[in-house]
Structure 1
Amino acid sequence: MSHRDAVVVPETAVPDGETAAATCPYCDRPFRRERLRDLHVGDAHDELRDGEITAYEAAVEAEAEDLFVYHLKVAGALGVVFTALFLLAVVGFSL
């Protein structure tokens, strides 16, 4: 399955009173962030220009980095919870 076969539904709702940060040059879809537009253009449209390919690749890399940081935070939080439960169990069973 290639990245073009995946269904990508980025957040496109722009709240009332707020202007879109970016708009798709092909389908005029509004986006709250430029990175979301770059991901949309790379995934949903064919025959991209060089600048759009570069922006898409940068957006994919940035998303991967954000996801890695998120996973680190989740792993850290689970470690803290596990440690707290372990310490509570040790204290509880030692009484």
Structure 2
Amino acid sequence: MLYFEYIAIKGENIMITFRPPEDMEKELNRLSKETHRPKSYYLREALGEYLEKQRKIQKAVSLYEEHLKSGDQGVSWEDVQKKAGLLEDD
């Protein structure tokens, strides 16, 4: 069983219990040992990346819903993704 701290937006620390599959735990242990970084570092990084990805997905869905409501048929899916920050502008 792995434990790590996550600092919430309000500055409060909360403890989260994480039980990875055995193969994932072995890989995390190996990575932690080789890089001399705590396991919590990789869990925070992974959670941060996941939350950022979910934020972008929700923004894209919201923008797409706005587009559908507007009745405007002139915006491509690529433009929606660019506006949501999922693709870089050319």
Larger Rg: 1
Instruction: Give the TM-score normalised by structure 1.
Output: 0.41
Instruction: Give the TM-score normalised by structure 2.
Output: 0.43
Structure with the higher fraction of residues in strand conformation: 2
